[in-house]
Structure 1
Amino acid sequence: MRSELIAQMLRFGAVGGVGFVVDGGLLWVMIGLGFNPYLARAFSFPIAVVVTWALNRNWTFRATRDASRQGQLRRYFGVQAVGSLTNYLVYSAVIGLFGTASLTIFAGFALGSFVGSLLNFFGARYVAFRA
């Protein structure tokens, strides 16, 4: 059981890396197009959630793939809502306190993503993709 948990955490981390790139890439493109950094993040994050749900369903938690796709997606979005709220609050706090310089935005993005990912793993494992 312990090795399964570690394997899931590693796969979840890899999927999170993909989500980080999708989220961050869209964020930077939108900021480059002149979007406000708060609004840009509100668009980039949900797209990354859909990408990570599909990858987690088919790779990280594949043993539960036979469960209702709609049910898993609803639960996953619920879990992500908690994680994303935490993520966004950390992101907003960092840029609210330290400004909107590129490095500050990236630091807020990275820190928010890390804190949110901890909540998201356990929520995904025990709520969204429960056996």
Structure 2
Amino acid sequence: MPSPLRRVATPARLLVVEQFIRFGVVGLAGLVGDTAVVYGLRGPLGLYGAGLVSYFVVASGNWALNRMWTFRGHGSGPAHRQWIKFLAANMVGFVLNRGTYALLVTFMPAAAAQPVIATSAGAIAGMFVNFSLSRRMVFR
């Protein structure tokens, strides 16, 4: 590695990049699950109810995957407390994610017809905040 790059690419920074990539992969799996749950529940619960239920189901799955893979060896304590901390820490991301989702399904007919548009935009809106808070508050 060239010397200038070696100064910038410290082991600590490379770890953050690796964690972010893994977090993104988990998030992509979560997006697939989120979209599937929304499509499956939009009939009986409507788009808003399906989006709310889906968020908590998928956030729980993402916590488990992040615990086992992204941040393996980081964080301590009982799993149920870490899960609650994860959900609490990601409430800002929740507001960005589901706020984007709700705005799109309300005001964009294409997103209401194809909720994958809204779930994708919501996932992107909350991703950076969720990563930062997960890394600093949940899996440290």
TM-score (norm 1): 0.88
- CA offsets, 1:15-47, max 9 Å, x none? 11111111111111112x343101111111100
**Distance (Å, rounded) in 1 between the aligned partners of 2:118 and 2:49:** 14
Aligned to 1:28: 39
Aligned to 1:17: 28
**Distance (Å, rounded) in 2 between the aligned partners of 1:39 and 1:10:** 30
- CA offsets, 1:47-80, max 9 Å, x none? 0011011110111011215x11233222201122
Aligned to 1:74: 84
Gaps in structure 1 of 5+ consecutive residues: none
- Pick the structure with greater CA Rg: 2
SS in structure 2 at match of 1:62: coil
2:97–2:125 Cα contact (<8 Å) kept: yes
Q: Relative to 1, partners in 2 of residues 1:41 and 1:109: Cα closer, same or farther, differing over 3 Å?
A: same
**Distance (Å, rounded) in 2 between the aligned partners of 1:98 and 1:23:** 19
* 1:95 and 2:105 matched: yes
- Amino acid across the alignment from 1:24: T
Aligned to 1:50: 60
Q: How many residue pairs are counted as aligned between the two chains?
A: 127
TM-score (norm 2): 0.83
Gaps in structure 2 of 5+ consecutive residues: 1-11
Percent identity between matched residues is 28
Alpha-carbon RMSD across the aligned residues, in angstroms, is 1.5
Q: Relative to 1, partners in 2 of residues 1:3 and 1:92: Cα closer, same or farther, differing over 3 Å?
A: same
**Distance (Å, rounded) in 2 between the aligned partners of 1:93 and 1:23:** 17
Which segment is superposed worse, 47-56 or 70-79?
70-79
2:63–2:86 Cα contact (<8 Å) kept: yes
